[in-house]
Structure 1
């Protein structure tokens, strides 16, 4: 019985060293990589036709073709062989379609077509936008090896002059990843973006944004009145009420919820933690989750993708939904909900302490409450506070009509 090939990995391919004579390493399904005495690595396709072993068909230079793409080509050629067709002519045409990346614009095209192929739509879109808008117009025609750190700094300075330091840093990081890819494929010898410190492009103070009660009410009323999908409206409201991270919520599964006991158990594996986290749910959150459960479109995920495959919505979906609303809430990001809740809860607790009699027996009992009861009490306080902000805005509007 022939020995099965151990599938290759990108790191294993990069570690292959030249020998006195060229040699091949198999990946499987006819795909092999041939290592030349010069160190060049070439993808080949090994096959038999009509019962006879044929010469290797060349797929192309490893520097230009990723492992994923080479496997796809080998699969195509294997299907042709199964039909009794030689893949040689097709492989020759395919090689002609592979442009040699001499200048940065060609290298960027190769990067987007190979390294970006398995990334999310949003990730590919933001990467391409940074390249097309600022990088390639400035240095796309330069040879890969001619791009310098000064070029990267100049691009970042132009972006910063538009008042976008975060975008400048993002663009520098895109170029850094592009050159890391080119170096791995031996198309570049150094990374000009790597020597440009991030702190020289943008420095950001820790966020201190806290929404006022009026802003909370304005935002949630606008979300409720908007045309976005109902599950996204509930997700944004739940993000406010539960005070969890966005990824914790959008990736949650129904198995994590015990709605009868109003408890959400976030597994340690999802938190990269040593233990699970218990989130005690106010009755408002339970009501929203029951609505989602009645209309659930997935056996597993609370907020499934609308694409039909059983996976959650992307983390960026809620950001995009809020951005599309055009809310008049200045300098706000979704993560500010957690800081906002913590700040208002402290203020609520301080008001309650000021109103309480320090010698009252109730104070002693409150101090003796266990952690779970305290968490439940805080979440209910917060949910009630949010409800009041929403209702206060509605009353203000109705009084002016």
Structure 2
């Protein structure tokens, strides 16, 4: 049991000033409310709430600092004090809320329960987390009891993804593992979170991308793509990515019920969540003649299926990597430097700005949030400008990539 040597704190700065010693010791909240910090020799600081229930001393481990701030720890302490006043022991309640979790539980069992109890409740689309668990985490540490997992196994799990060349995905794996072990600490399954020992900066450092395709690269890539043996809907999807300025995920989930051919509008009811606000916004894509032509062909292929890009099973859309695989296959037939599907949005934005289109209308086509004072007061949707922009953009792209030996463009040019 750590010793209470009279150390106190009242602000985050005072907490930061509490340095580890050779032996564990306790520091007390100046509010004298039973909230303590258990400072360990390794520097870890753990929130502990000490209280009396039925004339007996009990203690409740709340979480780690700074993962849990002073403000949050005090709020949790107050919530538990209310339970005590109602005759409820927070310590006994915590044991009940473990829902049968055992310290000897294998990580794969814990992970499955975490997925159902936490991830599926917190996320509208938990598919990516499911894939990280089953493809990247369980094969590495699923067979181990959760209490026996060390930093080495965590590092190996994350670095396996890095060694495959997917640093951003490795960071996603690290983030998921951190949240899982945070929850395990809360449940009392482990004493500390081993993922905290691995700094994010060593796993992944985000860099702003600048890659976009020049006019010549657009011509070469799409001519090669349409002359390849790649499945035709994939070709048309990659072309739509450039013409519509939509994100790949928005294309994958596209449904026919959201496309109005008569109005020439394509509603995207749920776009990718904004990185700043965390909220998704619906948007409208105004359809050019060329986009309508492409969609008509895809409708013929899809038949009665609900999705524009039909998956292998009825009622599903194509996989997350379908466009990536097709794009890389076509790219390998050229000498064009690497680019991603997402870079096509930057390609469109760059060329449209160079051609002198309204910058605000371009941002609306990209479904970006306008920042600053203009974002507060400018609520225009630029409908007219966007309709004109989309048609001229399609005209430009078709003038660039039309080749007599490409059947699709041959047919289109004959009709127009």
Tell me the equivalent position of 2:377.
none
Q: Structure 1 residues 189 and 225 mapped into 2: Cα distance closer, same or farther (>3 Å)?
A: farther
Partner SS for 1:193: helix
CA shift in 2, pair 1:325/1:122, >3 Å? farther
| Aligned CA distance change for structure 1 residues 325 and 175 (closer, same or farther; 3 Å) | farther
Determine the structure 2 residue equivalent to 1:265: 267
Contact preservation (8 Å) 1:169, 1:198: yes
Residue 394 of structure 2 corresponds to residue 389 of structure 1:
no
Residue 208 (structure 1) shift: 1.2
| Residue 351 (structure 2) pairs with residue 349 (structure 1) | no
**Equivalent in the alignment of 1:305:** 311
> What is the aligned residue count?
287
Q: Distance in 1 between matches of 2:135 and 2:400?
A: 39
Q: What is the TM-score with the length of structure 2 in the denominator?
A: 0.54
Q: Deviation of residue 394 (structure 1)?
A: 6.5
CA shift, 1:240, in A, is 0.9
Query: Aligned in 2, Cα 1:155/1:214: closer, same or farther, shift over 3 Å?
Result: same
Contact residue 149 and residue 195 of structure 1 kept, 8 A: yes
CA-to-aligned-CA distance 1:294-323 (integer Å, 9 cap, x gap)? 3333453322332113x4334443224334
1:105-151 per-position Cα deviation (integer Å, ceiling 9, x unaligned): x4146525873898877754444443377x54xxx897644555576
Change (3 A) 1:121 1:142: closer
Residue 62 (str. 1) matches residue 67 (str. 2): no
* Alpha-carbon separation, structure 2, partners of 1:326 and 1:252: 25
**1:157, 1:299 → 2: CA distance?**
40
Distance 1:312 1:296 in 2: 10
Look up the match of 2:192: 190
State the distance in 1 between where 2:404 and 2:343 align: 21
- Deviation string, structure 1 residues 194-251 (Cα, Å, up to 9, x no partner): 4544234321221111111222223323332344433222221111111122232222
Match of residue 283 from structure 1: 289
Give yes or no for the alignment of 1:373 onto 2:378: no
Q: Say if 1:346 and 1:152 are closer, same or farther in 2 by CA, change over 3 A.
A: same
CA distance in 2, matches of 1:143, 1:391: 60
Task: State how far apart, in whole Å, the 1-side matches of 2:204 and 2:108 are.
Answer: 25
Compared CA separation, residues 281 and 190, structure 1 to 2 (3 A): same
Q: Is the 8 A contact 1:282 1:383 kept in 2?
A: yes
Structure 1 residues 37 and 337: CA distance shift in structure 2, 3 A: closer
What's the TM-score once normalised by structure 1's chain length? 0.56
1:39 to 95, 100, 104: 95
Q: Confirm or deny that 1:254 pairs with 2:292.
A: no
Q: 377-386 or 314-323, which moves further after superposition? A: 314-323
1:340 equivalent in structure 2: 347
Provide the rounded CA distance (Å) in 2 between the counterparts of 1:295 and 1:142: 47
Contact kept? 2:108, 2:138, Cα under 8 Å:
no
Given that 1:112 and 1:124 are in contact with CA atoms closer than 8 Å, whether structure 2 keeps it comes out as no
Change (3 A) 1:389 1:114: same
Distance 1:125 1:299, change over 3 A: closer
Note if contact 1:256-1:265 (Cα within 8 Å) is conserved in structure 2.
yes
User: Any residues of structure 2 matched to 1:148-297 within 5 Å, and which?
Assistant: 152=154, 165-180=167-182, 182-183=184-185, 186-194=188-196, 196-267=198-269, 277-297=283-303
Q: Is the alpha carbon distance of 1:185 and 1:319 closer, same or farther for their aligned partners in structure 2, counting shifts above 3 Å? A: farther
Stretches of structure 2 that go unaligned for 5 or more consecutive residues are: 1-79, 274-278, 358-380, 407-416
| CA distance in 2 between partners of 1:387 and 1:160 (Å) | 39
CA distance in structure 2 between the aligned counterparts of 1:393 and 1:339, rounded to whole angstroms: 28
Give yes or no for contact 1:253–1:301 (8 Å, CA) kept in 2: yes
> What's the counterpart of residue 319 of structure 1?
324
Q: Which runs of 5+ in 1 are unaligned?
A: 1-14, 22-34, 43-60, 65-99, 351-369, 396-401
